[in-house]
């Protein structure tokens, strides 16, 4: 199915790894998909590269700086409000401790425990890839 561009929402997500643990953040009330967990990140603005958008979003959402690593995957998920096209990257924090500004909780999870939280559907393919990568 071809989705009109007006319904495509291009977003990026940071899979932040520290000491073998992966950061997950929980969406708050008043947002789409409240209470679900996701990788921090957000919409790519006009003229931004995915990497630039991710660095900006991490500064805005978690008040931290990060180094962007390898691309994990790009997947699309259809929601009632449009199709989210999510590109995820491995990232490492640059000495900063994340501070919540938009989310209500954060957890550092072992890769084997990633499915212990309720992920937003668009994030699930990346979660599965990460779990497989760390299991081998």
Q: What CATH code is carried by the domain that includes residue 74? A: 3.90.79.10
Q: Say which residue the tokens 């978690």 belong to.
A: 62
For the residues 28-45, what does the mean pLDDT come to? 95
Per-residue pLDDT tens digits for 3-24:
455 599 999 999 999 999 999 9
Give a yes or no: residue 32 inside a domain.
yes
Give a yes or no: residue 1 inside a domain.
no
Alpha carbon distance 66, 96 (integer Å)? 8
Q: 18: domain range?
A: 8-134
- Which pLDDT score is estimated for 79? 93
Pair 122, 43: CB distance under 8 Å: no
Q: What is this structure's pTM?
A: 0.92
Number of domains in the chain: 1
Give a yes or no: residue 25 inside a domain.
yes
Give a yes or no: residue 3 inside a domain.
no
- Which pLDDT score is estimated for 5? 52
- Which pLDDT score is estimated for 96? 83
Per-residue pLDDT tens digits for 56-94:
999 999 999 999 999 999 999 999 889 999 999 999 999
């Amino acid at each position: 199915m071809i989705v009109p561009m007006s319904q495509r929402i291009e977003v990026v997500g940071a899979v932040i790894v520290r000491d073998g643990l992966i950061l997950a953040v929980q969406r708050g009330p008043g947002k789409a998909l409240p209470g679900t967990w996701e990788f921090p990140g957000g919409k790519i603005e006009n003229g931004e590269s995915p990497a630039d958008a991710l660095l900006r979003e991490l500064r805005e959402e978690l008040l931290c700086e990060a180094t962007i690593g390898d691309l994990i995957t790009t997947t699309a998920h259809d929601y009632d409000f449009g199709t989210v096209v999510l590109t995820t990257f491995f990232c490492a924090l640059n000495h900063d401790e994340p501070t919540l500004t938009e989310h209500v909780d954060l957890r550092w999870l072992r890769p084997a425990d990633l499915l212990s939280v309720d992920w937003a559907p668009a994030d699930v393919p990346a979660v599965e890839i990460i779990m497989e990568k760390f299991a081998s």
